[in-house]
Amino acid sequence: MKELLELLEKDYTQSPEQMSIMLNMPVEKINELIAKFQREQIIVTYQTIIDWEKAGVDKVTAVIEVKVTPEREVGFDSIAERIYRYPEVRSVYLMSGSYDLSVAVEGTNLREVADFVSTKLSTIEGVVSTTTNFMLKKYKYAGVIINDQEEEEHRLVVSP
Amino acid sequence: MNWADRISPTVKSIPPSGIRRFFDIAAEMKGVISLGVGEPDFVTPWHIRESCIYGLNRGQTSYTSNAGLLELREEIAKSLYNDYQVTYAPRTELLVTVGVSEGLDLAMRALLSPGDEVLIPEPCYVSYKSCVTLAGGVAVTVPTKIENEFRITAAELEQFVTPRTKVLLIGYPNNPTGAVMSRQDLAEIARFAIKHDLIVISDEIYAKLTYDGTHTCFSSLPDMMDRTILLNGFSKAYAMTGWRIGYAAANPDFIAAMTKIHQYTMLSAPIMGQVAAIEALKRGEKNMQQMTNEYNQRRRLILHGFRKMGLECFEPKGAFYLFPSIKKTGLTSLQFAEQLLYAEKVALVPGDAFGDSGEGFVRCSYATSTANIKEALIRIERFVKSITAS
């Protein structure tokens, strides 16, 4: 089961037939497991990692440190939800340390992101303060090195 | 000056590597998918590379003691004990070599007198026979068969023993066949070695790449500790081929003899590689497991592909090679490999490069990406169909 998930995490476009061979597992079992993973939200979604910079599409991302006042009974969850429901918000993590929520916001330009922080994020009830850090360059994302120059084939074509 | 007259007759007697010839053709072509590579496609894990960089920054650029860094030998001893419960003393029973290649050369030179015979199951790694010849010995090859999954048996070895037989050289998991020997198989070989009072050199460079069951270290068999020269290294398990670090483990008197040759011919293995090897042993287990796991998945994929195209192929249980029979095509190994290269631009190695008993087979390395394997299988299938249809 773990092996199948690892294969899917690396490349979900592989056919069930191929995965069946690689994992020595009947193809029906593979399909059944994938359906189960999707049903139970173990597989949350399938995504593609795109180097937008290379594609010539302008995007600006800010990582915002948010301090909040937790609410009785729901703690941080309610405020977190009010934040993550915005489509501009790419990720939200509850953190230990000097602030509470780490919020990544994406926009087409700096003004758009700044606008979102000042008018939407910081005005949410319970948000005490925000510190906005703009991302300058993306080197690695979701375990994948962006624009990796290293892994090219450098071995001899034939060797003993 | 006619240099041909000046070159030693022994060197002249050694045929050039069959792989070399094939390499020259393949290297010139563009768009070739290679299943001919005998090394991992992974780059050495970053933490290992980084430890070497750190070592360089600290100025670790000197010779080491002849036997290698003591810390490395201690780590090797520890890992041999953890993996196989064999105990080697780091100070006297271990020697760090420049890959298994040097270890093999040293062992042969320290063992053989002119005319001494060495039994070598075949197909085998390309340098085994030449190492024996260069050390003044006589290589006696013993063919293994696909019917027996390319394992060697005592009965087969018995047919080739003479009063001059001194050494048995085995390499399992095997390059090029991918064969492994079970503990039971090896126990039979151990009894054979005792019966004829032979030294056993066991090249276990692919030990960590065992996919079905666990690897048995030859010296872990009863009464084999003193009789075995164990050779191993970091190239395959940790994807560290270019670092050239291996080791020999054996009786202290013999390690001293090997060290004597090593100190005059090599002095020491490169310190950069030794520093990296320490890191590999200390913290490399997880990465190694991941690589092994991936090889195993590709192994199943390539085996399935070859069987689907109707070529006889036993399931390799170790290393990263598949050794299918191409006899039904009516071509020799070399013809098959050459015609495939020209017709479909897929490079693999003709089986006879690994000895006469490799004729009728080709070696396909699956140390390459899944995408490459899939594309290569499509091309090879098309080629095989065109051959068998005509």
Domain count, chain A: 2
Q: List Cα–Cα distances, B201 to A51, B183, B190, B321, in angstroms.
A: 52, 16, 12, 22
Is A22 domain-assigned? yes
> Do B14 and B77 fall into the same domain?
no
Contact B276, B262 (CB under 8 A): no
Q: Enter the ipTM.
A: 0.85
**Domain stops at, among B283, B306, B340:** B283
| Residue B30, domain extent | 7-43+286-389
Residue A21 located in a structural domain: yes
Please give the C-alpha separations between residue B388 and each of B211, B310, B311, B381, in angstroms, as whole numbers: 33, 11, 11, 11
- At residue A83, the 3 state secondary structure works out as helix
Q: State yes or no: pLDDT of B390 exceeds 80.
A: no
Where residue A151 falls among pLDDT bands split at 50, 70, 90?
Answer: low
Q: Say what the pLDDT of residue A156 is.
A: 87
CB contact at 8 A, B162 and B138: no
A22 to chain B, any CB pair closer than 8 A? The answer is yes
Per the confidence metrics, is the pTM higher than 0.95? no
Give, as one character, the DSSP assignment of residue B320.
T
- B156 and B304 housed in the same domain: no
Q: Are residues B125 and B18 in the same domain?
A: no
Which residues in A lie closer than 8 A to residue B347 (C-beta atoms)? 157-158
CATH number at residue B385: 3.90.1150.10
Structure tokens at B72: 């490395």
Q: B210 with B354, same domain? A: no
Q: Do A156 and B23 touch (CB under 8 A)?
A: yes
Asked if residue B167 and residue B130 are part of one domain, the reply reads yes
pLDDT per position as a tens digit, B247-304: 999 999 999 999 999 999 999 999 999 999 999 999 999 999 999 999 999 999 999 9
Question: Contacts of residue B370 in chain A, CB cutoff 8 Å?
Answer: 14, 18, 22
Please report, for the domain that includes residue B113, its CATH number.
Answer: 3.40.640.10
Which single residue is written with the structure tokens 């005490």?
Answer: A128
Inside any domain, residue A149:
no
> Same structural domain for residues A34 and A65?
no
B124 found inside a domain: yes
- CATH number of the domain within which A116 lies: 3.30.70.920
Asked if residue B2 belongs to a domain, the reply is no
The beta-carbon contacts of B159-163 under 8 Å, at least 24 apart in sequence, are B160/B119, B161/B119, B161/B196, B162/B117
For the segment B205-225, what is each residue's pLDDT rounded down to a tens digit? 999 999 989 999 999 999 999
B contacts of A160 (beta carbons < 8 Å): 17, 19, 38, 125-127, 175, 353
Q: Does any domain span residue B1?
A: no
Q: A32 to chain B nearest CA, in Å? A: 20
Structure confidence at residue B215 (pLDDT): 98
Of A3, A151, A158, which is closest to B37 when you measure between CB atoms? Answer: A158
pLDDT exceeds cutoff 90 at B71? yes
The answer on pLDDT for A154 being more than 90 is: no
Whether residues A84 and A121 share a domain: the answer is yes
**Which residue in chain A is spatially nearest to B124 when comparing CA positions?**
A160
Q: Is residue A146 part of a domain?
A: no
The whole-angstrom distance between B36's CA and the closest CA on chain A is 5
Give B312's DSSP letter: -
Average pLDDT over chain B reads 96
Q: Which residue is associated with the tokens 């690892």?
A: A6
Taking the CA of residue B149 and the nearest CA in chain A, the distance in Å comes to 20
Is A159 inside a domain boundary?
A: no
| pLDDT digit string, tens, across residues B150-176 | 999 999 999 999 999 999 999 999 999
| B327 shares a domain with B245 | no
Amino acid at A58: D
Q: Where are the beta strands (DSSP E) in chain B?
A: 33-34, 94-97, 117-122, 138-143, 165-170, 199-203, 228-233, 246-249, 321-322, 346-347, 349-350, 362-365
Residue A54 included in any domain = no
Range of the domain at A81: 60-137
Chain A to chain B Cβ contacts (< 8 Å): 58
B272 and B296, same domain (yes or no): no
B233 and B189 fall within a common domain: yes
Within-domain flag for A53: no
User: How far apart are alpha carbons A129 and A10 in whole angstroms?
Assistant: 38
pLDDT digits (tens, 9 = 90+) for A103-130: 999 999 999 999 999 999 999 999 999 9
The reply to whether A112 falls in a domain is yes
Residues in chain A within 8 Å Cβ distance of B23: 156-159
Is there a single domain that holds both residue B223 and residue B153? Answer: yes
Asked if residue B367 belongs to a domain, the reply is yes
Contact B27 A157 (CB under 8 A): yes
- Min Cα separation A95/chain B (Å): 27
Cβ <8 Å between A150 and B43: yes
Structure tokens at A130: 């925000």
A67-84, pLDDT tens digit by residue? 999 988 889 999 999 999
Provide the pairing of β-strand A60-68 with A101-107. antiparallel
Res B389: pLDDT? 81
Q: Shortest Cα distance from A43 to chain B (angstroms)?
A: 21
Q: Is B100 a member of any domain?
A: yes
Q: Give B-chain residues touching A21 at CB under 8 angstroms.
A: 300-301, 304
* Domain count within chain B: 2
